[in-house]
Amino acid sequence: MGLLSKKDAALIKDPLADNNPITIQVLGICSALAITAELEASIVMSISVLFVLGVGNVVISLMRNIIPSKIRIIVQLIVVATLVIIVDLVLKAFAYELSKTLSVFVGLIITNCIIMGRFEAFALGNGPWRSFLDGIGNALGYAVILIIVGFFRELLGSGTLLGIPVLGDPIEKTGLYAFGYENNGFMLLSPMALIVVGIIIWVQRTRNKDLVED
C-alpha cells in the first residue's frame, strides 16, 4: 500500500498535467510572462510559491472553522502576506542580488490568483494534510511551466542556462556561434513567453484530447 491514497496522490499529480494551474486554469500567467527570461529567477519564484502555497493552505485549513465568512478574504490576504514577507527576507539574506531583481514580483505573490484560489476553493473545505498536498501539487504544476518557459527563453535568448554559457561564446565565435548561430533577442521579451506558454498548451491538448472543449 502506498504512502498516499489514490485521491491524495491525485492532488499532486493532476496539477502537473490535466489540471495545470497555468495552462488549464489560466491562473498565474503574469509571473510566467514577467520573470521567466532567466532560469534562475524562474526556479526561485517557483520555490517561493511552493513555500507560500504549501504552508498557506495548511494555515487556512487549520483556521477554517474559526474564520468569519465575511472577513475570510482579508484573513487569507494576511496569511499570504506574512508568508511572502518571510520569503522576501530570506531572499535578501541569502540571495540579495536576485532579491532585487525579483522584489516586485515576489510581492505580487500576495495577489497570485493560484494561491488565493486554492485557499478559497480547497483549504477552506478540507483538512490540513489534504490541503498541504493540494498546495504542493498546484505549486509544482506552476513551477513546471515556469521552469520550462525560463529554460527555453534563457537558452535561445541568451545562449546560457543559470547564467552559464552552454552554446559557446558569441564574441569569440565558439561552439554553435562558429556555425553562424545567433541568439534570438525576441525570446527575452514578454510576448515570447506568452508564445512559449501557448506552445505548451498546444502540446498538452494535442496529447490529451479530453482537454479540448467541444
Distance (Å) of CA 135 to CA 7, 19, 127: 14, 13, 12
What's the pLDDT at 214?
43
Q: Residues, the chain, total? A: 214
pLDDT profile of the chain (214 residues), mean per 10:
74 86 82 83 89 95 92 92 90 82 73 86 92 94 93 93 90 87 89 90 80 54
Q: Which three cell numbers stand for residue 174?
A: 565558439
What's the pLDDT at 137?
94
CA 31 – CA 91 distance, rounded (Å): 17
HEC-encoded secondary structure of 44-86: HHHHHHHHHHHHHHHHHHHHCCCCCHHHHHHHHHHHHHHHHHH
pTM of the model: 0.87
- CB of 81 within 8 A of CB of 110? yes
What's the pLDDT at 147?
94
Q: Which three cell numbers stand for residue 40?
A: 534562475
What's the pLDDT at 61?
95
- CB of 204 within 8 A of CB of 211? yes
Helix (H) or strand (E) holding 164: strand 164-165
What's the pLDDT at 122?
92
Q: What is the pLDDT of residues 197-213, one digit of tens each?
A: 999 988 888 877 666 55
